[in-house]
Amino acid sequence: MKLIKKGAEGDLYLTTWNKQKSILKIRKKKAYRNPLLDEKIRRQRTIRESQIIVEAKSFGIDTPLIYLVDIKNCSIVMQYIEGTLVRDLPDSKLVRCCNKIGCIVGTLHKNGIMHGDLTTSNFILSKNKLVTIDFGLANKTSKPEDHAVDLRLLKEILGSAHVHIMKKTWASFLSGYKAIVGSTRLAQVTNLVSVIESRGRYATVV
């Protein structure tokens, strides 16, 4: 097995499953974390990620196929997705992808799921399909506040890592999102995004 990425959550290995190229994602123990806390986090996220990846598929979101879940070792074997991370795409393509990301996030929200870690490195462009990965922080919720947290995180990433095309990518995302959830819901959620932003340190003038 070849280690292909040491992520913040877990390590990704390239492996084979039923002769198919696949990914083993294993959430290893983190020595710096208290063992009780560590065990709970790793277990909970492994279960949640595998469940929600499958559920998202049921309403048409492209996600990797899950082959095996090992709760004891906190590992998941899943389909290997060939392609490029949206983060690493050239600017014009990235802007277009943000529209599709908007549709995906809208669909997830409409079906009561928040992704929890919406960054441009959690979408893979694979043969004209946009595949959503990394559901470790996902949650089942229909609360507009939770959905706003999703949007805010993406906005933060667009405004930092992709700041030179922030306006275009954000507008592109919102138009995709609106197409799915409708303008009333969009207004409600973006309003809450502003509320969350205003809670940030020194965001508003005293």
Partner 1 sequence: MLCLGIESTAHTFACAVVEKNGKIHSDVRKIYRPPDGEGIHPREASRHHIESSANVLVDSLQQARIKIKDLDIIAYAAGPGLGPCLRVGAVVARSLSSYYKIPLYPVHHAIGHIDLGKLLTGAKDPFVLLVSGGHTMLLAFMKGKWRVFGETLDITLGQLLDQFGRSIGFASPCGKNIEELAAKTSTYIQLPYVVKGNDVSFSGLLSATKSISSQKEKACFSLQETAFAMISEATERALSFTKKKELMIVGGVAANKRLSNMLKSICKRQNCKFYVVPQQFAGDCGPQIAWTGLLEATAKKGSALEDAFVKQSWRLDSVNIDY
Q: Which spans of this chain sit near partner 1 (rule: CB under 8 A)? A: 6-9, 30-34, 36-37, 40-41, 87, 116-119, 121, 137, 149, 152-153, 156-157, 159-161, 163-164, 196, 199-206
Cβ 3 to partner 1, closest distance in Å?
Answer: 12
Question: What is the rounded CA–CA span in Å between residue 104 and residue 101?
Answer: 5
Choice between 183 and 202, CB closer to partner 1: 202
Question: What is the rounded CA–CA span in Å between residue 58 and residue 86?
Answer: 23
Choice between 18 and 32, CB closer to partner 1: 32
Say if CB 154 and CB 118 are below 8 A apart.
Answer: yes
117 is catalytic: yes
Cβ 162 to partner 1, closest distance in Å?
Answer: 10
Burial of 31 (0-12, 13-18, 19+ CB in 10 A): exposed
Choice between 11 and 62, CB closer to partner 1: 11
- Beta bridge partners, 126, equal 129
Cβ 44 to partner 1, closest distance in Å?
Answer: 10
Q: What is the DSSP letter of 2?
A: E
